[in-house]
Amino acid sequence: MMRAYLAQSKIELLRTFRNRKSIFFTLLMPIIFYFIMSQNGAEKMGGVEWKAYFLISMTAYGLMGSSIFNLSLRLVQERTQGWSHQLKITPLPPSTYFAAKVSVQLLVNLGQIVVMFLVGHFANSVELTAGQWIGAGFWLLLGSVPFLAIGTLLGTMDKVETAQIVNQIVTLGLSFLGGIFYPMSLFPEWLRKFGELTPSYLMGNGAWNILGNQPVDWGGVAILAIYFVLFTGLASYILQKKEVSS
């Protein structure tokens, strides 16, 4: 099944690059936001330069968007338009199909991190040590995994239109609540308690910690893992239920 896995991955990758909407919302928009909002900053956030801090924020924002957007919309489209029926007739195991989708999205996420970091370094002179670049990049990649699960969960919806709207609400909601656009320290106390539990905050926070030479937040890793298991479990439960009723 290696041949099928590779062929499926190639197609998924091609589709991502050909989708201009996805490229715009998940790569260009974060870059534009980054330049607009990193201009007025000599300030520091917890010992981290604002332009470096906000580079992490916008990279996280792009990762959330593309993980949720790419996975959920394609899953809904393929299921509602009968493509998944066509696939079910072939010997391709659903697990191979899904593994290809997820691993390609991880690869795309890695590419996004690299592009954002290059932009930050060369166009906005963000200076970090090699260890910080690699550590922050790795953390962001890891932090994007629960969003793959969220994308899969939203991919169980029945209509592309609804999925699109819910997508936006979830991405924007998690961005604001998770302190991606405004630092969490500016939030009122009661809101901060919620915000600090969002996967978006935890994804950003791990990387901000690395930039500020803070120790790794293992509690955060655990919560991200719980999110992953929760959303994956919920998605497969819903898909199984749909399967039975057909």
Question: By CB under 8 A, what part of segment 171-230 binds other proteins?
Answer: none
Closest Cα partner for 152 from 139, 170, 176, 175? 170
Q: How many residues bind other proteins (CB under 8 A)?
A: 24
Chosen residue from 15, 44, 193, 241 binding other proteins by CB under 8 A: 15
- Span interacting with other proteins, options 1-9, 60-68, 112-120, 232-240, rule CB under 8 A: 1-9
Contact between 24 and other proteins per CB under 8 A: no
Interaction between residue 8 and other proteins (CB under 8 A) = yes
Pick between residue 42 and residue 244 the one whose CB is nearest to other proteins: 244
Which amino acid is present at 189? E
Q: Does 241 interact with other proteins (rule: CB under 8 A)?
A: no
89 binds other proteins (CB under 8 A): yes
- Helix-helix angle 160-177:199-211, to 10 degrees: 40
Find the Cα–Cα–Cα–Cα dihedral 87, 91, 96, 97, rounded to 10°. -10
Q: How many CB atoms lie within 10 A of CB 13?
A: 17
Q: Report how far Cα 140 is from the mean position of its chain's Cα atoms.
A: 9
Return the residue of 31, 33, 77, 191 that touches other proteins, per CB under 8 A: 77
Residue (7 or 226) nearer to other proteins, CB? 7
Going by C-alpha positions, the residue among 228, 62, 71 that lies closest to residue 149 is 228
Nearest to 178 by CA among 135, 216, 152, 147: 147
Residue 19 sits in the site that holds other proteins (CB under 8 A): yes
Contact between 116 and 59 under an 8 Å Cβ cutoff? The reply is: yes
Residue with smaller CB distance to other proteins, 15 or 193? 15
The residue ranges that bind other proteins (CB under 8 A) are 3-4, 6-8, 11, 14-15, 18-19, 77-78, 81-83, 85-86, 88-93, 246
